[in-house]
Structure 1
Amino acid sequence: MFFTKRINVEKKVQPLNDTDIQSTDRMQNKLSYLQLNNKDLEIIKKLDYLFDKYCEDITERHYEMVGRFANLQNIIDQHSTRERLSNTFIKYLQSIPRSEINEEYISGRVKIGDIHSKIRLTPEFYTGSYIRVYEYLIPSIISEFGNSPEQLSELLLSLIKFITLDSQIVLESYQEGNDYKVVSNISSVMELITKINKMKDLLAVVDSTIAEAEAVAAAAEELSSSVEEVANNAINVSENAEETILQANNGQKVIEESLKGFLSMTEDFSETKEKINNLLKEIQNVTTVVSFIRDVSEQTNLLALNASIEAARAGEHGKGFAVVANEVRKLSEQTNTSVQKITSTIEKIQAEANEVDQNSDRMSTQLGVRVNKTRDAIDVLDQIITRIEDVGGATSNIAAIAEEQSAATQDITSRINEVLQHVDEIRTATKETGSTIYDASYKVNELRKEVLKSIPRLSGENLLRVMKTEYETWKWWIYNTMIEFHDLSEGDIARRQESRLSTWFTTIKNDPLIQSQSVFTTAEKLHNDIFTLANDALGAMKRGHFSEISQILEQLDTKTEAIKECLDELSLGVAERKTGKRHQHS
């Protein structure tokens, strides 16, 4: 018969004391809160034979129960086998009464939590599995130690303390794994949003498009005006061309009539020249007669002289004849004098007639040339009239085409104005989209911060993952400040020492597992560079130098990518050493 002896509960409850088990600060707190001491560990060791005795039965019953739940069986089928898991579970049960609260124990329980988190086994099924342990061990413990209520009480209480600690470590690791997933997912969302950093470029392109469209619109309006002017001028030219053709035709008739008169005058001049030639011939004949008279006069003078000589010889008988001879001589001299005058006059007339003849020849030649040129001019005038008629026709076509082009350019201007309106609408929509993206990023980041607040602690891989997103977020706020969606003076970025990044960096700096890695030095320098660049961006924003912020962003982008690589490398180093060491300072 059990429990025949009563226990004084008030006396058996121990006073609250710190644990005497040496461990990390965080583990010390857990142990003290559970009031788990080295004495408890010694008491549990007394149960080793019971764990060994029932571990296989507990395991068999446990996986028989698991097999009744399709979702649990699916997890086993996807990630392992019942045989492998049974062997692992048996070893775990056997380790409970033989455990010491050291690095190996902690890392082993952390590993269990990590595995359960990765295979998505929910906590209720994990904690529920301890019922299989209690189903066998509690009855067997009562059966073995029922005659000693105080010892039985100590055994059960120590076992419950230990299994509670065991569950806490496993579930904490499980929660950390889930927290990491949540943080990683929400950080990934935030990082995806921060990659939408082309809004500034898009706005610049839209503004450039608007400027170019406005320039095209102005040019189109100017072209429309020019084309309209060309059309009007072409119409005027076409109308003037018709009048010009009429005047040219009239001019051609006048010129042809003038040419006919000119040709008639040329013919008359030819007749005049012929008469001049006849006159020259007549003058030549007169000259011949005068020459003959001169010859006769000279002979007469000579005869008169001879007659005078003979009269002188005859004496008195020759006096009358001498008078006649003397008169004949005088007549001959007068005739000779007249002949000389006539000859001189005829020579002058002949010279002038020759000059007239020469001038007539030149005039005849020039008249011939002028006639030929006039005929050529008439041919050219015919061609000009033909060309004018062609130009008139072409001008009419140009006028018609120009009118069509004028209508087309007006249509182009109208359409370009519509394009301008659409582009302006695109710009408005782009800004609204950018603002919406910013609002979404702000809300996601607020959600991210709330999730981070709900996580009991951030360390190791979780903290490194969060920091990656935080650096990206800083760059994102600077970028949105540049496009006037964000105020850089607000938030952590303006308070270096109070910022989450500073706090988190101090945390990883104090973690030997992270700080001991060689890449940490590089990460620390990049961290300081990023803060400097952020402060530079803040100063540029206050001065309104947004082009300077753009240059800072380029540098910040390079630094951010570099520190993210460093954080990935640090995270990998933590993952490689997490067995036992991951939670040294957790």
Structure 2
Amino acid sequence: MFVSKKKIQDLKTKYEAELSELKSENSDLQSTISDLKSQLQVPASTIDDTRNKILEVLLNSYDGGTEFLQNNIQENLLMLDDINELNAKNGEQMINVESQTQTIAQTIETIQEYSNQLGDDSNSLNDSVISIAEIINLIKDISDQTNLLALNAAIEAARAGEHGRGFAVVADEVRKLAERTQKATQEIEININSLKQNSSSMLDISNTFIDETGKVMLILDTFNSNIENVMENSSSIRAQTGSLTNEINVSNGKLNHIKLKVQAYKELFNDVPANIIDEQSCEFGKWFSMAAGSFLKSNTQAVSSVTRHHRNVHIGLTDTLKLFKDGKESEALVRLKDVEISSDIGFKELISAVRSSSN
């Protein structure tokens, strides 16, 4: 369920290797620019004025442009993809935990309902026991009065002598009945006292159970709140990581354009053939097509503008090389400046659109 140390170490190793490769590539670009700077310092008699101006365009465009790309790009995109995947899995796990927590909460609520019912039943039982005890007290009073009547009847029968013998028999039976009633009452009283004690104990246990269940509910509420925070944080991490991935893709595209334009400049100055591919075939073009169809889909104005500027960079470089070969160097310089403007505006608009899409 969790990210292993080995997985993290593998990502770190891959990232460091690709970063080293990127730094090497960036160093090559800076070396090329340094060479061109050296050429710019050669006396004007050896380089025509148009080429000098083209070189100035290059230097103005790239003198500080490669430094911010130094610590970026390719493999940390893969690393961020892995992080996104791990975060997505983490989100799924949190959803499962949340679902399980809800089930636990429902179970606890049910237990609490039963606890409340138990408490009600205990109270009712306790009330019933109290009522029974009152009835027993009443029976006891009646028994005492019956005993008293039997005693009085026996006294009166003794006074009546022979004539009160039948009355004495009745009095004796009343006395025996009173004794039985008293004995039964005593037994009932003993049982009722035991029942009262048990009922009181049950009521105490029920109250304790209700209190403990309430504490569990409070703890579970806190746990639920923590889970919600984890879910929100996980969602925020995924959003931020996705946004960062998109921004790095933009930087990667900028680096691709730098490399593409350096190829063109190399052909202009060193007669090294340049392979200027079309805007749909370059790595940035492929990524931008995906972006235009997904998270940038609603920003049609930005998509249209970036598409236009991106196309102008590729076509403009091809046009520049052709114009230069045809000896139209002034027109080539104008076209090259237009390419640099499109590259600058296009990527500024793109990074703005990417950041807006993540808000």
Whether TM exceeds 0.5 here: the answer is no
TM-score when normalising by structure 1: 0.28
TM-score when normalising by structure 2: 0.44
**Larger Rg computed on CA atoms:** 1
